[in-house]
Amino acid sequence: MLQVAGIDVAYGHAKVLHDVSLDLEEGKMLFVVGRNGAGKTTLLRTIMGLLRPLKGSIYFDGGDITGLPPEQLYHRGIRYVTQDKKVFGSLTVRENIEIAAYSSGEPLSQALDKVLEIYPKMKDFLNLKAGQLSGGQRQILLIGQAMVGNPRLLLVDEPTQGLAAIVINEIARILKHLKGRLSAVVVEQNLPLVSQLADRVVVLKEGKVTQVLDDASEICNTSLLEKAL
Ligand SMILES: Nc1ncnc2c1ncn2[C@@H]1O[C@H](COP(=O)(O)OP(=O)(O)O)[C@@H](O)[C@H]1O
Ligand SMILES: [Mg+2]
């Protein structure tokens, strides 16, 4: 459902991704792992149309989406949850969800249901300013907002970064719940979580794909993943 085919991406003259390819099948979760600076965020930003590859193409649902603007990709069902966990802090949680409802054209009541489905406790926080949520709750709100409309492909950048173990378990539970309902590319450095959830793991090293793991017994092996980084 998503193919990245041989892309090179640069910031000015500094090339960051070199001939990167990946292939994601419908309903699967692909995890991208790699050290800081490997180019993981750059890859997600390029898929979302925020950066244009110098060469190579990106295909989604069989069509070439290379160079299409992010708004258009949003309306085709691609959602990007960025690494920075940014919500509209001075607006309430409900108002943040309203924005997703408005952007996607989904009625607010359904949008609220989408968020409460993944995290029923959010019901108690709807009138709270989103800035008052904990880091984990913000991350959950952002994932919930991404589920509004009819997402087909979710791109999530380091959802558990900086979160406490108990919250990481909650995020893992939510990702597991979403598994099979849509396709996802998740950047994640928490290897136990990767080995729990991934259908495929792509290792990115200095902007190049150095390994692709498809075999469940390999993916389960966190020390193998650790060695691949
Ligand atoms: N806006 C930018 N301008 C210039 N260089 C950047 C920019 N963003 C990232 N880089 C560089 O690109 C490389 C890959 O960054 P990034 O994709 O953020 O890596 P990762 O997400 O794997 O940590 C790094 O060397 C980083 O310094
Ligand atoms: Mg990053």
45 CB within 6 A, ligand 1: no
Q: What is the mean pLDDT of the chain?
A: 96
Residues, the chain, total?
Answer: 229
Where residue 6 falls (left for φ over 0; alpha for ψ -120 to 50; beta otherwise) is left
Question: How far is residue 40 CA from its own chain's centroid?
Answer: 11
DSSP one-letter code for 107: -
What six digits make up the tokens of 100?
Answer: 């997703």
Question: Of residues 228 and 153, which shows the higher confidence score?
Answer: 153
Residue with tokens 């150095």: 210
The Cα 12–Cα 33 span in angstroms is 25
Cβ–Cβ < 8 Å for 22, 153 = no
pTM for this structure?
0.95
Query: Which residue lies with its CA nearest to atom 7 of ligand 1?
Result: 11
Q: Does residue 18 register a pLDDT over 90? A: yes
Which protein residue has the closest C-alpha to ligand 1 atom 16? 39
| Whole-number pLDDT of residue 59 | 98
Domain that holds residue 201: 2-85+153-228
> Which one, of 31, 55, 145, lies nearest residue 91 by Cα?
145
Q: Which residues are bridge partners to 90 per DSSP? A: none
- Which CATH number characterizes residue 13's domain? 3.40.50.300
Confidence label for 212 from pLDDT (cuts 50, 70 and 90): very high
Residue 46 is predicted with a pLDDT of: 98
DSSP labels, 11-41 = ETTEEEEEEEEEEE-TT-EEEEE--TTSSHH
Is there a domain that residue 112 lies in?
Answer: no
Q: What are the pLDDT digits (tens) for 131-171?
A: 999 999 999 999 999 999 989 999 999 999 999 999 999 99
69-81: buried (b, 16+ CB within 10 Å) or exposed (e) per residue? eeeebbebbbbbb
Q: Closest ligand 1 atom to the C-alpha of 34?
A: 22
Residue 205 lies in a domain: yes
Ligand 1 pocket, 84 CB below 6 A?
no
Q: Is residue 145 part of a domain?
A: no
pLDDT in tens, 58-89: 999 989 999 999 999 999 999 999 999 899 99
Domain assignment present for 131 = no
For a mutational test of ligand 1's pocket, the pick from 41, 156, 188, 206, i.e. the residue with the most ligand atoms closer than 8 A to its C-beta, is 41
Atom number, ligand 1, closest to the C-alpha of residue 42:
17
Q: What is the pLDDT of residue 192?
A: 94
pLDDT tens readout for residues 89-130: 999 999 999 999 999 999 999 999 999 999 999 999 999 999
**Residue 177 domain-assigned?**
yes
> Which of 9, 11, 203 maximizes ligand 1 atoms within 8 Å of its Cβ, making it the mutation to test the pocket?
11
Q: Give strand ranges (E) for the chain.
A: 2-11, 14-24, 29-33, 55-60, 63-64, 78-81, 153-157, 183-187, 200-205, 208-213
Measured over the CA atoms of residue 77, residue 83, residue 87 and residue 88, the dihedral's sign is negative
Residue 78 in domain = yes
Answer yes or no: is pLDDT of 36 > 90. yes
Our count of domains for the chain comes to: 1
**Residue 89 DSSP one-character state:** T
pLDDT at 106: 96
Q: Is the pLDDT of residue 2 over 90?
A: yes
**Angle between helices 108-118 and 165-178 in degrees, nearest 10:** 120
Residue 9 domain-assigned (yes or no): yes
Here the tokens at position 31 are 């995890």
- Say what the pLDDT of residue 62 is: 87
Residue 14 CB less than 6 A away from ligand 1 = yes
Residue 90 forms part of a structural domain: no
Residue nearest to ligand 1 atom 14, measured at CA = 39
The confidence score (pLDDT) of residue 150 equals 85
